[in-house]
Copies of this chain bind each other. A is one copy, B any other.
Amino acid sequence: MATTHELSETHYFETNPPPSTLPEHTALANSFIKLHHSASRPVVLLTSGGTTVPLENQTVRFIDNFSAGTRGATSAEYFLSQGYAVVFLHRQFSLLPFSRHYSHSTNCFLDFLSEWGRIGEDDEGGKDGEQAATPDVVVKARYRQQMLSVLRKYRKAKEQNLLLLLPFTTVTSYLFTLKMLACQMQCLGNEALFYLAAAVSDFFVPPSRMAEHKIQSGDIPSTDGDGSTGGGKKLVVDLDPVPKFLKRLVEQWAPRAMIVSFKLETDPSMLLSKCRQSLDRYSHHLVIGNLLSTRKREVVFVDRKGLEWIRTPELRDGEEEVEIESLIVPAVIRKHQELLQRQRSGDTNRH
């Protein structure tokens, strides 16, 4: 018999429309996963960025979750460097692997470029008569080394088809795409890893209650003179909880994969209990907890065995900051490899 949870999940998918991109993304995912399955390459589904909750059908206003996508975009690069193929399910216009080094920055990437008057030779081979008078646009010497390193890694990922970029915007399009990908990835068995770094909304406005047009700010001037409101109406937004899809993912969509979720809190006193609660509730493999204020310097791994803090080293003078994802990703991969090892040797206990 279906539980209340299962009913609510089924109801969610039945009453919310699938994203128009779903057929195209399904086809892309299908060939990507087949390719790496046949090459016996491990595949990570990495989710990144915040989901939106539209308040109107023709959306002018929406609720969003804070996330530039730094954790996800940075982690993707480290997974690629460790030989994983990466499905990068990300919020549209959030940070992407590789280009993240030059975007969402106060430095415009145009500041990295300068003109250089080389004439005649085309950089794509052959003479370039028509454009002979056009100077080259080159990356300035002081940025060249780093740009070259990023460009080479980007190219390798692209040429070897190791990175699949799939965008989402709303929480509904995120959930439909996650479900589709999980089902596609079942053929990978326990070689599949889920690294759920996206900031997913816990609340949504059901279609039956969604305004069609932009909600009007109201033309009824307030009559109270206390200065607390100055005309216009108040707005009350009434949201339902999003069903807990992690349970369905663990039990039905991806029963053999390793699943890692993230927990972001702002109150230090709640972090560990929220991580443990999540692990108890969904019985997946690992929760990575982090606080909004310190998330770039420390995280905590919480699993059945206990907990382990991961922190970036204190910097001495002149040392460059260590990206914490360079520590998180290898630690997650070790756990994935241990799991594969245990399962190969016949231990069927998934934790």
Contacts and interface: CB of A to CB of B under 8 A. Distances in A.
A342 interface: no
A141 B116 contact: no
B63 A64 contact: yes
A213 to B, nearest CB: 4
Contact of A103 (B103, B141, B147): B103
Given A137-B151, A151-B110, A227-B11, A214 B265 contact: yes
A231 B212 CA distance: 27
Interface string A231-268: 11111111111111000000000000000000011110
B241 A233 contact: yes
Given A65-B61, A244-B232, A266-B60, A138 B139 contact: yes
Contact of A235 (B64, B154, B239): B239
B140 A144 contact: no
A202 interface: yes
B217 A202 contact: yes
Interface stretch (A31-39, A122-130, A306-314): A122-130
22 contacts: A5-B231, A7-B225, A7-B230, A11-B227, A60-B66, A60-B264, A61-B63, A63-B237, A99-B109, A123-B141, A124-B140, A124-B141, A134-B144, A134-B148, A203-B217, A213-B265, A229-B240, A230-B243, A231-B244, A232-B244, A235-B241, A236-B236
